[in-house]
Amino acid sequence: MSLTLILWFRQDLRLHDNPALQAALADADRIIPIYIHDDSPAWAPGAASRWWLHHSLTALAEKLKQLGSRLIIRSGDSTQVLQQIIDETGANAVYCNRIYEPAQLKRDKQLHRQLKDHDITFSIYQGNLLREPDTVRNQSGQPYRVFTPFYKCYLREGWDNLTYNSPRQLPGVTTRIKSEKIADLALLPTIEWDSGLYNHWQPGEAGAWKQLRRFLRNDLADYHQARDIPSLQGTSRLSPHLHFGEISVRAILAELDRQGLRRQGEGFIRELIWRDFAHSVLFHFPHTTDKPFDERFNNFKWKQSKKLLQAWQQGRTGYPIIDAGMRELWHTGYMHNRVRMIVASFLTKNGMQHWKQGAEWFWDTLVDADLAANSMNWQWVAGCGVDAAPWFRIFNPVTQSQRFDKQGLYIRQWVPELASLPNKHIHEPWKAPEEVQKEAGCIIGKNYPEPILELKASREAALAAYKQRITGKS
Give pLDDT tens digits for 397-411: 999 999 999 999 999
Q: In the chain, what percentage of residues exceed pLDDT 70?
A: 98
HSE-CB at 390 with a 13 A cutoff on CA atoms is: 6
Compute the distance between CA of residue 367 and CA of residue 242 in angstroms, rounded to an integer: 11
pLDDT in tens, 1-60: 478 999 999 999 999 999 999 999 999 989 999 999 998 878 899 999 999 999 999 999
Closest CA to 252 of 205, 303, 193: 205
Annotation marks residue 337 as catalytic: yes
| Active-site residue, selected from the candidate residues 378, 380, 391, 414 | 378
| Active-site residue, selected from the candidate residues 193, 302, 330, 430 | 302
| Active-site residue, selected from the candidate residues 132, 180, 255, 271 | 271
pTM of this structure: 0.96
HSE-CB at 154 with a 13 A cutoff on CA atoms is: 23
Identify the H or E element spanning 347. Answer: none
Annotation marks residue 209 as catalytic: no
Annotation marks residue 312 as catalytic: no
Average pLDDT on 121-148 reads: 95
* Distance separating the N- and C-terminal Cα atoms of the chain: 72
Q: Coil, helix or strand for 299? A: coil
Average pLDDT on 228-243 reads: 96
| Residues in Cβ contact with 359 at an 8 Å cutoff, skipping those fewer than 6 apart | 374, 375, 378
Average pLDDT on 95-102 reads: 96
| Active-site residue, selected from the candidate residues 193, 337, 360, 417 | 337
| Active-site residue, selected from the candidate residues 355, 380, 391, 414 | 355
Q: Which domains does the chain have, with CATH numbers?
A: 4-127 (3.40.50.620), 129-162+203-284 (1.25.40.80), 295-471 (1.10.579.10)
Annotation marks residue 355 as catalytic: yes
pLDDT in tens, 176-217: 999 999 999 999 998 888 888 999 999 999 999 999 999 999
Annotation marks residue 378 as catalytic: yes
pLDDT in tens, 271-313: 999 999 999 999 999 999 999 999 989 989 999 999 999 999 9
Residue 249 zone, left/alpha/beta (φ > 0; ψ -120 to 50; rest): alpha
Looking at the DSSP bridge assignments, the partners of residue 124 are 96
Query: Does the pLDDT value for residue 452 go beyond 70?
Result: yes
| Active-site residue, selected from the candidate residues 159, 193, 274, 330 | 274
